[in-house]
Structure 1
Amino acid sequence: MKSKILLVDTDSDCLISLSGMLKGTGFEVSAATSAEEALELFSTWHFPVVMTAINLYGRDGIELLKQIKRIDDTSQIIVMNGEATLETAMTALRSGAYDYLVKSRIDEAQVISLVEQALEKHRVAEETQRLLQEMKVNNEKLEKANKCLIEMAIRDGLTGLYNHRFFQECHQTEISRSRRHKRQYSLIFFDIDHFKEYNDTHGHVEGDSLLRIIAQITKGRLRQSDFAYRYGGEEFALLLPETDKQGAYIVAESIRARIAEYAFKGRETQPFGKVTISAGVTTFPDDAMEAEEILDKADKAMYLAKKNGRNRVHAFNIGQMTVAVTSTG
Structure 2
Amino acid sequence: MTARILVVDDVETNLRLLEARLTAEYFDVITAQDGATALELCARAQCDIVLLDVVMPGLDGFEVCRRLKADPKTHHIPVIIITALDHPSDRVRGLEAGADDFLTKPVADVALLARVRSLARLKMLGDELRLRAQTTRDIGMSDALADAIADTGDGGRVLLVDDRESSYERIRAALSGCQTVEVETEPHEALFRAAEEDFDVLVVSLSLEGFDALRLCAQIRSLERTRTLPVVLVADPDDNVRVIRGLDVGVNDYLMRPIDPNELIARVRTQVRRRRYTERLRNNFQISMELAVTDDLTGLHNRRYMEMHLQALFDQAAARGRTLSALVVDIDFFKGVNDRYGHDAGDEVLREFSRRLKASVRGIDLAVRLGGEEFVVIMPETDAAVARLVAERIRAKVAAKPFSLGLGRGAIDVTVSVGVATYLSGGDDGAALLKRADVALYRAKSDGRNRVVADAA
Please indicate the TM-score interval, normalised by the length of the shorter structure: 0.5 to 0.7
Residue in structure 1 matching 2:285, options 127, 133, 146:
146
Query: Shift in Å at residue 134 of structure 1?
Result: 4.2
Matched, 1:201 2:340: yes
The aligned residue for residue 77 of structure 1 is: 236
Structure 1 unaligned residues grouped into runs of 5+: 4-37, 48-62, 80-91, 99-115, 267-272, 319-329
Could you say which residue in structure 2 is the equivalent of 1:180? 319
Contact 1:185 1:244 in 2 (8 A): yes
After TM superposition, the structure 1 stretch with the greater mean CA deviation from structure 2, 309-318 or 172-181, is 172-181
Is the Cα–Cα contact under 8 Å of residues 278 and 313 in structure 1 kept in the other structure? yes
Residue 44 of structure 1 corresponds to 169
Question: Is the deviation greater in 196-205 or in 250-259?
Answer: 196-205
Relative to 1, partners in 2 of residues 1:97 and 1:165: Cα closer, same or farther, differing over 3 Å? Answer: closer
Aligned positions of 1:78-157 closer than 5 A: 134-157=273-296
Q: Does 1:307 align with 2:424?
A: no
1:234: Cα distance to partner?
Answer: 0.8
Question: Could you tell me whether the CA contact under 8 Å between 2:441 and 2:453 is conserved in 1?
Answer: yes
Q: Letter of the aligned partner of 2:351 in structure 1?
A: R
TM-score, structure 1 as length reference: 0.60
Give SS of 2:301's match: coil
TM-score (norm 2): 0.44
CA distance in 1, matches of 2:275, 2:232: 18
Report the count of equivalent residues: 233
User: Conserved in 2, the CA contact under 8 Å of 1:75 and 1:122?
Assistant: no
Aligned equivalents of 1:126, 1:179: Cα separation in 2: 61
**Aligned partner of 1:75: which letter?**
V
Are the equivalent residues in 2 in contact too, given 1:185–1:241 (CA < 8 A)?
yes
2:388 paired with 1:249:
yes
**Structure 2 match to 1:82:** none
C-alpha distance in structure 1 between counterparts of 2:266 and 2:437, whole Å: 62
Structure 2 counterpart of 1:159: 298
SS in 1 for 2:417: strand
- The higher radius of gyration belongs to 1
Q: 2-side partners of 1:279 and 1:286: how far apart? A: 23
Deviations 1:3-50 (A, max 9, x none): 9xxxxxxxxxxxxxxxxxxxxxxxxxxxxxxxxxx9332232149xxx
In structure 2, C-alpha distance between the alignment counterparts of 1:295 and 1:217, rounded to whole Å? 22
Q: 1:2 to 1:302 in 2, by over 3 A?
A: closer
Shift of 1:190: 1.1
Give the match for residue 51 of structure 1: none
Q: CA deviation at 1:254?
A: 0.6
Say if 2:318 and 2:425, in contact at 8 Å, map to a contact too.
Answer: no
When residues 287 and 221 of structure 1 are mapped into structure 2, their CA distance, relative to the original with a 3 A threshold, is farther
**Counterpart for residue 226 of structure 2:** none
- Aligned counterparts of 2:211 and 2:267: Cα–Cα separation in 1: 19
Q: 1:207 to 1:215 in 2, by over 3 A?
A: same
After superposition, the CA RMSD in angstroms is 3.9
TM-superposed CA distance for 1:176, in Å, is 2.1
The 2-side partners of 1:65 and 1:204 are apart by: 66
For 1:178-227, what per-residue CA distance to the aligned partner results, in whole angstroms no more than 9, with x for missing partners? Answer: 22333221110010111112222222221111111001100111111111
Residue identity opposite 2:209 in structure 1: K
Mapped partners of 1:191, 1:77: distance in 2: 72
Matched, 1:66 2:185: no
Could you say which structure has the greater relative contact order, defined with CA pairs below 8 angstroms and 6 or more residues apart?
1
Q: Do the aligned partners of 1:186 and 1:283 also contact (CA within 8 Å) in 2?
A: yes
**Structure 2: unaligned runs, 5 residues or longer:** 1-86, 90-162, 173-205, 217-230, 245-254, 406-411
2-structure distance, mates of 1:181, 1:39: 61
Helix, strand or coil: the match of 1:306? helix
State the secondary structure of the residue aligned to 1:153.
helix
Q: Does 1:284 align with 2:423?
A: yes
Counterpart in the other structure of 1:85: none
Shift of 1:66: 2.6
Tell me: CA distance 1:136–1:178, structure 2 relative to 1, closer, same or farther (3 Å).
farther
